[in-house]
Amino acid sequence: MRSSRRTILAVAITVAAAVIGMTAWALDRVDPGMTFGQGNDAQGRATLTIGSVTPGGLAWYEGVHAGDVVINVGGIAIPPGDQAVSEAYENSREFQWSLLTVPPAQLQEALANGDSGAPAQLAYFGWAPRRLTASGIALLAGFLLCLMGFLWRRSASPGPSLSRMLPTVLAASATPLFLVPAYLTLSPAAVMLASILIASAVLLAGLDMTQAIGPTRVRRTVVLVAALTALTAAIIGCAIAFTGMERGLATETRWAFASATVLIPGLVAVRYLRGPAVASQLGRTIDSIEVGVAATLPAFGLMPLAAVTDPPFLTPLVAWVLVVVALRVFAIRPMARLAAQTTIEREMVVDDSEAERRRIAGDIHDDVIQDLTMLVHRLDRDGAEEPAATVRRAVERLRAICADLRLPVLDDLGLGPAVHALVAELEPLTGGEIRLEIKGEDRLPADVELTVFRVAQEGLANAVKHGRPPISVHLEIGAEDVQLKIDDSGPGIPVDVLTAPPAEGHMGLLSMTQRAQTIGASLEIVERPGGGTRVRLNWAARARRAGSAINREPAN
């Protein structure tokens, strides 16, 4: 499932949960899980009885049994008799705070003991409507959480990995808060629906987390684990809706499985964070910290449902928000400023490098090639054909070097023709075919075209050197974006090469990531499904503008 579809589903689940929760809160009703009826005692007098009890409902949990005689409702005695019972039955449609019931065989003994004898069973429901009224706080917390996440994402503050998965993480965290009022009606249908929606929301967030995991085998394993934990949470929720196990171990177990659906993929993603969307190790560290912290948020959002009879358990969620704010202000933001400074310095290095390339190309063309050309003329004039041919080959080689340094094809014709020429130059060296697909002819900013070409140049060189044919190159150029994908069929690239510090022989990978960072592009170097290596670069003008806004953030 694509990330965009997961986001749409997550938003739909969140909206549905909010509507259901607000409706339940507005109705302000708790399902007692029972009905009243009328019967007769041994003397033939009318009695108010329990008609039916729903398994797993509130009355079932409180120990009420079908057929029991009700002798007290909300502190008002209901003695046997036609008039008193008839009035009580008419008023029984309105839910009461407490019931005093007794088995029919022990009715006379209970009445003799003043309605409070040992045989009587007190069913107290007072906590349920009070907590339903207070659950409006959970609704408010859900809305505030969504608002904070929306504003945070719009401000371009999250890292590239968290920014992509933030909608589903927020859905997994806010959905339980929105469903607290519906859940507290204790209607089996409402409890089951809430459990399914919560399991669906955390599963979407867990799947989004798995997309940040680089190695394919690890990613598939974690996807399976997330699916199993979400399914287990849903099954437990549906089961306890009809078994009356709403408090205690069953509820806590469901909370643990639902939380693990996001937490496990998040922690694994921190270890195997996929492809360097940021070039520097510091930027990667910030990205990992944000993903790991975000993975813990759904667990705190689920806590209000971990103990049904307590007030909305929002204290841990508030504490989480405060800790994250402090972490961002005193740790992540200074690290982000340092990363931004490093990026600026790297841009200067890359710019200086390209300027030096142009200077060297100009010196070679204007001085060395001109002198060698004059030498060729003199040798031809003197009849020295063999030395002249040798010098002429040297001149042709120098012209090729100058063309590579200055890239006149890129400057004059654009990115598409330049990549086409590059493929034509390298294809004879592969011993096989390079499949090239180019879409679009738009011209992009000069630095963007240069960066994409250099990444293509390095990626193809690595594919020729370390991979095997067939090699495929896909380039799609838009008015404000560009996508480059290079696949080879070789043995693939080890994960430790991507995560280890740059070493001799692997500086090209660092060069590609540095160049991508200078234009605000995302670059992934990952294992290709089916074997081989995939280099994928994506650049969009809006992402560049967002990155520039971060870099301009004041340092105070």
Where exactly are the structural domains of the chain? 3-26+131-313, 34-124, 415-556
The beta-strand segments (E) located in 178-282 are none
The first and second tokens of residue 138, run together, are 């959970």
Distance CA 367, CA 383 (A): 24
Write the DSSP string, 321-371: HHHHHHHIIIIIHHHHHHHHHHHHHHHHHHHHHHHHHHHHHHHIIIIIIHH
- 415-556 placed in CATH 3.30.1490.20: no
The list of the chain residues with pLDDT below 70 reads 1-3, 56, 92-97, 113-120, 127, 155-161, 243-248, 274-284, 306-313, 331-333, 335-359, 361-371, 399-409, 411-412, 493-508, 542-556
The first and second tokens of residue 389, run together, are 């041919």
At residue 229, the pLDDT reads 95
At residue 183, the pLDDT reads 82
Q: What is the pTM of this model?
A: 0.59
In contact, 68 and 106? CB cutoff 8 Å: no
Residue 76 pairs in a beta bridge with 73
Those residues whose C-beta lies under 8 Å from the C-beta of residue 277, and which sit 6 or more positions away, are 159, 160, 161, 287, 522, 523, 524
At residue 283, the pLDDT reads 60
Note the CATH number of domain 34-124.
2.30.42
In contact, 448 and 409? CB cutoff 8 Å: no
Distance CA 155, CA 346 (A): 24
In contact, 162 and 116? CB cutoff 8 Å: no
Quote the longest CA-to-CA distance of the chain.
141
Those residues whose C-beta lies under 8 Å from the C-beta of residue 516, and which sit 6 or more positions away, are 276, 279, 451, 455, 522, 523, 537, 539
Distance CA 97, CA 130 (A): 10
Best CA proximity match to 275, nearest among 264, 258, 265, 287:
287
Distance CA 161, CA 208 (A): 10
34-124 and 415-556: identical CATH topology: no
At residue 247, the pLDDT reads 56
- The pLDDT tens digits for 138-191 are 898 899 988 888 887 776 565 666 777 888 999 999 999 999 888 878 777 888
Distance CA 110, CA 79 (A): 11
